[in-house]
């Protein structure tokens, strides 16, 4: 994204490039790539839900609904991407450090599914997983140079809404309260 009259990087590109410059260390890049692979198509978060269903037999149905909700949140982000059609960062000051399945950037599907998983699985574990799971995934997308800051923020908001709505529905189910 270049500002039209000057050819200078936009504010988002500046924030992205600065974030990448400050955080891009070998260990951080390796961790970010690991998170990228884990979160690809929400597979890692879906698998975590299946593990929850296997371990917490009492709430198995809720874990399965939550895992499906994570995939649903991911699908919602893909639908928004196809409507918005914002291209991924492409500026000389940003280095892309991982492959992506599409050229579309807004919103970040990784941020969406991670936030949905954190919200839903928090309700099932009784622990607030959001601070431990969401910021590292959002930062990883910037470190890898594949999203603008607003992409990850919008993805987190979308995942929070989807996860929050489904979590409320799960909490109202009589079998969830056993």
Residues 56-78, mean pLDDT to the nearest whole number: 96
At 91 the pLDDT is 87
Q: What is the pLDDT of residue 43?
A: 96
Flag whether the pTM goes above 0.85.
yes
Instruction: Go through the chain and tell me how many residues it has.
Output: 178
Per-position b or e across 88-113, b if 16+ CB within 10 A of its CB: bbebeebeebbebeeebbbbbbbbbb
Mean predicted lDDT score pLDDT of the chain: 90
Burial of 14 (0-12, 13-18, 19+ CB in 10 A): middle
CA 138 to chain CA centroid, Å, is 7
| pLDDT(42) > 50 | yes
Q: Does domain 18-177 have CATH number 1.10.3720.10?
A: no
How many CB atoms are closer than 10 A to CB 168? 10
Q: Where are the domains of the chain?
A: 18-177
Q: What is the mean pLDDT of residues 66-92?
A: 95
Sequence-separated (6 or more) residues with CB below 8 Å from residue 95: 20, 24, 145
CA distance 138 to 156: 8
């Amino acid at each position: 994204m270049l500002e039209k009259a000057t050819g200078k990087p936009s504010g988002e590109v500046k924030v992205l490039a600065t974030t990448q410059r400050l955080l891009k260390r070998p260990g951080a890049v390796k961790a970010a790539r690991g998170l990228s692979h884990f979160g690809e198509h929400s597979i890692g978060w879906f698998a975590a839900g299946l593990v929850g269903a296997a371990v917490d037999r009492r709430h198995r149905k809720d874990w399965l609904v939550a895992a499906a909700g994570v995939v649903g949140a991911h699908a919602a982000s893909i639908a928004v991407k196809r409507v918005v059609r914002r291209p991924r960062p492409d500026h000389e000051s940003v280095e892309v450090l991982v492959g992506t399945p599409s050229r579309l950037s807004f919103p970040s599907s990784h941020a969406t599914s991670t936030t949905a998983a954190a919200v839903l699985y928090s309700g099932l574990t009784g622990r607030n997983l959001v601070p431990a799971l969401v910021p590292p995934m959002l930062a990883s997308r910037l470190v890898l140079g594949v999203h603008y800051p607003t992409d990850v923020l919008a993805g987190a908001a979308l995942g929070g809404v989807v996860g929050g709505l489904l979590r409320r529905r799960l909490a109202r189910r009589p079998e969830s309260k056993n």
